[in-house]
Amino acid sequence: MFLDVSGLTIVYVLIEIQSMKRPTIESILKEKRLFQPPAGFSENAHIKSLEQYKQLYEQAKADPQGFWADLAAQELHWFEKWTQVLDWQPPFVKWFVGGKMNISYNCLDRHLTTWRRNKAALIWEGEPGDSRTLTYAQLHREVCQMANVFKQLGVQKGDRVGIYMPMIPEAAIAMLACARIGAPHTVVFGGFSAEALKDRLVDAEAKLVVTADGGWRKDAIVPLKVQVDKALANDGAPSVENVLVVKRTAQEIKMEPGRDHWWHDLQATASPDCPAEPMDSEDMLFILYTSGTTGKPKGVVHTTGGYNLYTHMTLKWAFDIQDTDVYWCTADVGWITGHSYIVYGPLSNGATSLMYEGAPRPSNPGCLWDVVEKYGVNIFYTAPTAIRAFIKMGEHHLLSRNLSSLRLLGTVGEPINPEAWIWYHRIIGGERCPIVDTWWQTETGGFMLTPLPAATPTKPGSATLPFPGIIADVVDLEGNPVADNQGGYLVIRHPWPSMMRTVYGDPDRFRRTYWEHIAPKDGQYLYFAGDGARRDEDGYFWVMGRVDDVINVAGHRLGTMEIESALVSHPAVAEAAVVSKPDPVKGEDVVAFVTLEGSQNASDQLKDELKQHVVQEIGAIARPGEIRFTDALPKTRSGKIMRRLLRSLAGGQEIAGDTSTLEDRSVLDKLRGGA
Ligand code: WTA
């Protein structure tokens, strides 16, 4: 079984350590501690008690349509009400059919007629000490201007826009401007290579690319515009007509006349008047590419109404967001966590969302805590890999910082080992902050399993219970629920509002990937998450990690096939098999077993070259930690690579289990001998 994840900015810090223990299934199985919601927390909480949670859960289970429809009417603005709450033609779903709304209206305009007009919507802390705060009124103005700029550049409702940006407010402005005019965005993480960017722009047929001259990362400039130029060179992405460039780092860059435009130039003359386009509830809001089990990343499609409702409700109830809170999610906007919980969820709630461009680095390992102190952050959301890195950095960074503003801590991305959970609770949370461990995915749009902080007693390492309206289960391959504490596949039984709608341009892949692994049971289709899990005697879920060929390196989700394809595209490589090995900070690290073309000689130099090649093809997040050359890969008689064996070898474990299907046993002996 593999462990997988999401993607959080700060995880770049990470180097190997021996002292921290990785979660083992045994340690998680033995975990029995229970932490009650802190006294006094429930007084002002949106959901005040376990009884209230149970009642909401039962209500939603008995009448999901009524439950979501009531919330949609209470919590969101609609230009026109829907005519049908749910249209479920498995596996294709529609929510709030016929309803008209605009998520940028819900995130901005509706707050302008309230006292929130002059409240901070975004607080931005930039890497070399820059900072900026945008109130709701200011953010609205800039979004409207950009929406007009996009229109001026020929973007129409339905056209796709690529966003390849550093963590600056303009990234959120561009997303909201797209939403405002009904142009689906596809945000590509700024750490992806030109090649990966090109693939995504081509698949989405983006008409416009929004980027910056560069971004700051750990005291250096990431040359984003150079990557865009590479991606578009030789008509690489022919659909792209214009490139809009934010001046961030101000180094010399090439601007191609007719194609490239400066953001600030066009903004200067753009009208701040741009009414939000009434969108159909089911109009596409964005495509976000994520790794799967085949080579090509898939474009996960999310639509408007259900996504808005679900991200709004989950943030409100699970993070108990209040008007007085400064809320900080450390993810990058290039990942789903950034979409749902830096931009749309917080702004829809009228909250103050903090965006940070920086990352802990040797010259300033305690920089995150400075940000907490500077802005009095109340809610802090990060990933286990980051927490393990903080532990490694030592507690002395914390002693001089005042973290007393914190009242709630969140985690996402991979199973959190109980040791890291306890450290987070004790050292960062001062034993007073509930820890909200949220299990979810790019595909689910929002939190699926999560404690509600004033209601749910927590157990370190468990994402606890399903959010109201989510019917989760652990089943075998036939779809039969397994007994308590037995491992199985994590599935969801009923569609929820922010469920992905399809794989962009490939509905068959959507069906195959998520709906056919587990047989439909009694006419009921089960959403297969790709994770293994167990449920304990209290109904708590313990997610164990991926059961497919997806691995999770420092909070980034990567497909092993993607990395293999990158390796074999190098002329020296004949064959490659990629597996993961446990890593104490990153969770997992990439190990590549490589066979070379006949004339090639194995050398350390070639290893470095291959690592660099993967960086070029995908991005630094996919750089193999280790490359092992071998004469042959262990295969079954039918030619399938036996990854299980490679995984054991990579992790330095004994080969256990059946090896009788191995075609050539000497391959194994050679590999063991340390190829
Ligand atoms: C893993 C990130 C255990 C899981 C939001 C899932 C988790 C994948 C948790 C999705 C958690 C995420 N506990 N595992 N709290 N959160 N995962 O699409 O394997 O980048 O399938 O979305 O991360 O990663 P993705």
Could you tell me the distance, in angstroms and rounded to a whole number, from the CA of residue 67 to the centre of ligand 1? 26
* Ligand 1 atom showing the smallest separation from residue 5 Cα: 23
Residue 556 beta carbon below 6 angstroms from any ligand 1 atom: no
Q: What is the pLDDT of residues 532-582, one digit of tens each?
A: 999 999 999 999 999 988 999 998 999 999 999 999 999 999 999 999 999
Peptide bond into 365 cis (omega under 30): no
CA atoms of 41 and 43, how far apart (whole Å):
6
pLDDT, residue 27, reads 62
Residue 339 beta carbon below 6 angstroms from any ligand 1 atom: no
Specify the residue with its C-alpha closest to ligand 1, atom 20.
6
CA atoms of 544 and 26, how far apart (whole Å):
11
Q: Which of 227, 148, 141 is nearest to 190 (CA)?
A: 227
Could you tell me the distance, in angstroms and rounded to a whole number, from the CA of residue 331 to the centre of ligand 1? 13
Residue 580 beta carbon below 6 angstroms from any ligand 1 atom: no
Q: Which of 322, 341, 491, 334 is nearest to 410 (CA)?
A: 341
**Per-10-residue mean pLDDT for the chain, 675 residues long?**
29 29 56 90 96 98 98 98 97 98 99 98 94 98 98 98 98 99 98 96 98 93 97 98 97 97 98 98 98 84 98 98 98 97 98 94 90 98 94 88 97 94 96 97 98 98 98 95 96 97 97 91 90 96 92 91 93 94 94 93 96 96 96 85 88 77 79 64
Could you tell me the distance, in angstroms and rounded to a whole number, from the CA of residue 265 to the centre of ligand 1? 40
Specify the residue with its C-alpha closest to ligand 1, atom 12.
413
pLDDT, residue 12, reads 27
Three-class DSSP labels, 563-605? HHHHHHCCCCEEEEEEEEEEECCCEEEEEEEEEECCCCCCCHH
pLDDT, residue 11, reads 27
Give the ranges where 233-326 is alpha helix by DSSP (H).
263-268, 305-318
Q: Which of 314, 412, 553 to mutate to test the pocket of ligand 1 (most atoms within 8 A of CB)?
A: 412
Q: Which of 1, 3, 4, 498 to mutate to test the pocket of ligand 1 (most atoms within 8 A of CB)?
A: 4
pLDDT, residue 671, reads 81
Torsion of CA 288, 293, 296, 297, to 10 degrees: 10
* Ligand 1 atom showing the smallest separation from residue 543 Cα: 3
Question: What is the token pair recorded at 548?
Answer: 């497919």
Residue 542 beta carbon below 6 angstroms from any ligand 1 atom: no
Distance of CA 178 to the CA centre of its chain: 20
Residue 439 beta carbon below 6 angstroms from any ligand 1 atom: yes
Specify the residue with its C-alpha closest to ligand 1, atom 23.
5
CA atoms of 639 and 663, how far apart (whole Å):
8
| DSSP assigned state of 449 | B
Residue 437 beta carbon below 6 angstroms from any ligand 1 atom: yes
